[in-house]
Structure 1
Amino acid sequence: MCFAGIPTRLVSAVLGLALSASVAAGFEIEDRRLYEATSERARLSVVSTADLDVFDPIIRAFQASQPGVTVDYVVTGTTDLMKALYDEGAAFDLAISSAMDLQTKLANDGFALNHTPTTSTALPAWASWRDQLFAFTQEPAVVVVSDQFFPPGEALQNRDELIALLRANPERFQGKIGTYDVRRSGFGYLMATQDSRNSDAFWRLMEVMGRLDAKLYCCSGDMIRDVASGKLALAYNVLGSYAASQQKNTGGYQIIEMSDYVNIMSRTVLIPRTAKNVDDARAMLDFLLSLKSRKDLVDATGLPAIDPSALRANPSLRPIRYGPGLLVFLDSLKRQSFLRNWENSLLQN
């Protein structure tokens, strides 16, 4: 390919588009950044559901520990990440996702390589599966409430209180509730199916939200922004780490961990079988597992590290466990049935 006489900026744009096309295939890329090494010896391709502004400190810290590794960081949604690896065979060296069930299916169906963490990054038994899938965070699903609707100290504390409040004040909350569109969001689907297992209050809550014309979202960030601005009174099942991180900069809302139970999601990482740079993928995986010893990165990213002591101290925290149980709601018939019930509850107009 010859670029003689073409401005350098245009050449870069053309090459960038070509690179994106070669990786993107049929899945949607939401964001992308190339972290170029000063003296590149290798390139590491990462596909992730974690926003760039959240993961940026981790990537830069990893590069400081591994000079010469250029990191190509691609951000996509949970279902698109699954599509890229499972359906399209996209070549990535590392896959990071908040959808534990989809990651479990990738590993279960032979799409992940085995890895043995270094001694210094040993995990509790519940935080890994088959030496292929590894957790490096524990993040709560929370309710975010607007300061414009809830003065300090007046916010609900459990699901029964939330249901009663919404039923008693339909005019106050009409069109002011947000939650995930579980048909589009893999993380949202995971949280909803776990809710349905934990309590029958979930379906009662969905029906109440449906009568109030709940607004459906793809992402936690969008819900948080609308709550902070007062467009929404509250958002249900928001990713707590994102809520805490954005609260530092925007404010305008409170974060509520329900007292009846709190689903704890673990952000997971695996090495796809299509990986080309396996050595550096293993190095970054171990680096992620060492997050618990890097308070500076925990503070910078807002991603809570694995902390078994916190789970022991608060019995309402319920970590989602790996295993075949996570695959139940990925069965096509089971999924169709769940989504049909969900639509009947939420989409009443």
Structure 2
Amino acid sequence: MIRDPDTLNALLDSVRRFVRERLVPAENEVAETDEIPPAIVQEMKDLGLFGLTIPEAYGGLELTMEEESLVMIEMGQTSPAFRSLFGTTVGIGSQGIVMDGSDAQKARYLPKMATGELIASFALTEPDAGSDAASIRTTARRDGDHYVVNGSKRYITNAPHAGLFTLMARTDPAVKGAGGITAFIVDAASPGITLGRRDRKMGQRGAHTCDVIFDEVRVPAENIIGGVEGRGFRTAMKVLDKGRIHIGAICVGVAERMLADALRYAMERRQFGVAIAEHQLVQAMLADSRTELYAARCMVLDAARRRDAGEDISVDAACVKYYASEMCGRVADRAVQIFGGAGYVADSGIERFYRDVRLFRIYEGTSQIQQLVIARGMVRAAA
């Protein structure tokens, strides 16, 4: 749902200009240094990117899902690492508090998130719990007015920069499944929290992940999201449903960028006396990419509108994330093929995107998990 087209168009124009003038020229520097320049980080904060989804009452822009998707498509026109820096704060890091947090929790944390003063991370995945999120082993035992947390989390995006963690931990050891999991807000500076070394990844340099170890970390009982034990898994799934549409939108944006680059190269590169864009087999790759990209964009916006309308979009969100991420990978592969030898060389930029987008098919639910969510949802609906 678009609330005010003029205001949204002004925001999209600002983001589009920021991407073109500031982020695209910095792509190589970020890839080489594995760091986003502090000046660019500050400009992101000034532009309001950290507060896109935070309610207006707490200083954010409170974008609808459709509006957020359109902004993310614009952000996708550059290296995904830039989006990742604020992505956990506007997405899975904050949305548990936005959806299920108490008024006091919202008032305490959301204003700082909206300005970028506080970066939030989502601490769900563990060495033995990722796709099988219900098998979380990190524990939180009650001790007076606190819970004592022990366990390890793995591949936590933005953990090196986080000011707080939205943590999923097991509060009821007797309940082995999802019902024993509780969501906590944990101050990242709490005694007992240590960070592992930054992960060396295939791509997305500039976006940082690492392990987070909790050793007898004391968390106030009032920091349970919503104040009720045992609802953490439900909160996590709601957050991920929204996040999957967000990721779908990013996939569309990045695929648009890669296809534009491939088309430009195909029109400039000459073989057999003509631009390779004149050769039918190259045209087929361009056409297939454009068609799949159009389908993914339509899926993203349709699911976003359905969510804004209050519909249950769990299956739709899984369809979006599954199709858009796989589409993005296929577009990346074709782009490298169109560039030929130049596409295998780092100077082209396409080689970097090829590695960067591979992650989209893994995080926030692998493609295989999306298939299970879709099929099980179909069975439930038919029954």
TM-score range, shorter chain: under 0.3
- Provide the TM-score with structure 2 as the length reference: 0.25
Q: Larger relative CO (CA 8 A, sep 6+): 1 or 2? A: 1
- Provide the TM-score with structure 1 as the length reference: 0.26
Compare the two structures and name the one with the higher helix fraction: 2
